Structure 1
Amino acid sequence: MAGPRNDRATSEARTVSRGFGWLALLGVILAAAGLVGLVYTGVATLTSMLLFGWLLLIGGVVGLLHAVQSRGTSFFWLGVVVAALNLAAGVVVIRRPDVAAEALTMFAALLFLTGGVFRLVGSLVVRGPQFALTLLQGAFGLLIGILVLAGWPSSSQYVIGCFFSLALLVDGLGLIATGIGGRRIVSLVQPEEHLKAAHRGQGGQDQSDN
């Protein structure tokens, strides 16, 4: 009985280990794409805007199909309006990715500015246990917002691509760490399972001998 169980456990462990290996490979691809994007930020900005535009188009088409399926309900016209807005925004972003990048860069700069101001004011007013960290985060966000706005609209050529590439790099490194850590855990657990199966088999054999 221990033999088939042992083989099945080994096969499952190999499958899980292979899955973690594919996860690590995906992380390597994402990290490499992030590094390339950090070198060629202009290309990364254009690529990210085109991807964003196509996602808006696909979301608009899917939303329109859902709205057609729900016709006769109170959500029909709301779904049609949202789908039409997504379709229109997708067309604009794809046709004019440079203008869309300028608008998103301005929006990102304003977010950094407002977030930085709120964190600075909140840290000075509350003065909690994480006062220094919150103060540093607020100052950092405020500084980024000011720098982006100071270089706008020329900063729109690289800001979105830089953020997009950094996100790819961080996600890729996280997947690599998860994949390598998962394979190590599987390799550590597998010998223990073999030992337990061997002990169970030996115990059953001793009982049959007795």
Structure 2
Amino acid sequence: MTAATPPGDTTTQLKRGFGWLAVLGAVLVAAGLVGLVYAGVATLTSMLLFGWLLLIGGLVGLLHAIQARGTNFFWLGVIVAALNIAAGVVVVRRPDATAAALSMFAALLFLSAGVFRLVGTLVVRGTHFGWTLVLGAFDLLLGVLVLANWPSSSQYVIGTFFSLALLFDGLGLVATGYGGRRIVGMVSERLAGDTRPGDGPGDAHVKPVQPE
């Protein structure tokens, strides 16, 4: 039988884990801020990262398809892997063109989302009418701004979105790590207070018997 881990060691491990989570969040926040300052570099970096991920995913999918040869999955796996590899090669070789295409796609998404949100808000007029109307107008304005400056806007649009994603994910990890450490500390203090000498089941005080 293995000995149980002492409660103090478990608390220390939990605090250390949440601490590393907060450190990772701080790194992501720093990377997001740097990416917002150097949006062009962030766009190129995100495109190259996206291309290499497609290449690696295609190669791994091709290996899985080869292992599954003789089954119905083989040809489907080969086709999907080939498409991923081809897309990865294009993205790595032409990251600027890929960024321009993705920026156009993002602008069209913002435009369509803004139009549908505005029309739906004006027709339904729900409880969050004002807030939804503002969001729809913001989506529409963002799509118009990206399209108005396209393709020059593609140099910073993808990098800005990528950096914002890093920033908000990092803030979430920092909040989780800090909050987790506080909760673990509060729980450990509460348990230490509940198990102080004299309060345990074996430490009950026995009232002495008075002689008659």
Q: Answer yes or no: same fold by TM over 0.5.
A: yes
Amino acid of the residue matched to residue 58 of structure 2?
Answer: G
Higher mean C-alpha displacement, 117-126 vs 69-78: 69-78
2:196 maps to what in 1? 198
Task: Give deviations 1:36-63, integer Å, cap 9, x for gaps.
Answer: 0000001000000000001101111111
* Shift of residue 75, structure 1, vs aligned partner: 2.2
Amino acid of the residue matched to residue 124 of structure 1?
Answer: L
- Asked whether the 8 Å contact 2:197–2:203 carries over to 1, the reply is no
Tell me whether 1:188 sits opposite 2:186 in the alignment: yes
Q: Which residue, out of 98, 116, 119, partners 2:117? A: 119
Q: Which residue, out of 78, 83, 86, partners 1:85? A: 83
Structure 1's 40 and 208: CA in aligned 2 closer, same or farther, altered over 3 A?
same
* Shift of residue 73, structure 1, vs aligned partner: 2.1
Tell me how far apart the structure 2 counterparts of residues 200 and 145 of structure 1 sit (CA, whole Å). Answer: 68
Paired residue secondary structure (2:13): helix
Amino acid of the residue matched to residue 12 of structure 1?
Answer: T
Task: Give deviations 1:156-201, integer Å, cap 9, x for gaps.
Answer: 0000000000000000011001100010111111111112222566
Tell me how far apart the structure 2 counterparts of residues 133 and 115 of structure 1 sit (CA, whole Å). Answer: 15
- TM-score using structure 1 length: 0.92
2:67 maps to what in 1? 69
Percentage of pairs with the same residue: 67
- Asked whether the 8 Å contact 2:24–2:170 carries over to 1, the reply is yes
Q: Which runs of 5+ in 2 are unaligned?
A: none
2:35 maps to what in 1? 37
Amino acid of the residue matched to residue 131 of structure 1?
Answer: F
Q: Which runs of 5+ in 1 are unaligned?
A: none
Structure 1's 209 and 11: CA in aligned 2 closer, same or farther, altered over 3 A?
farther
Tell me how far apart the structure 2 counterparts of residues 141 and 27 of structure 1 sit (CA, whole Å). Answer: 28
- TM-score using structure 2 length: 0.91
- Which of the pair has more CA radius of gyration? 2
CA root-mean-square deviation: 2.0
- Asked whether the 8 Å contact 2:198–2:205 carries over to 1, the reply is no
* Shift of residue 203, structure 1, vs aligned partner: 4.4
Amino acid of the residue matched to residue 197 of structure 1?
Answer: T
Tell me how far apart the structure 1 counterparts of residues 173 and 204 of structure 2 sit (CA, whole Å). Answer: 46
2:163 maps to what in 1? 165
Tell me whether 1:102 sits opposite 2:100 in the alignment: yes
Tell me how far apart the structure 2 counterparts of residues 129 and 75 of structure 1 sit (CA, whole Å). Answer: 49
Higher mean C-alpha displacement, 199-208 vs 183-192: 199-208
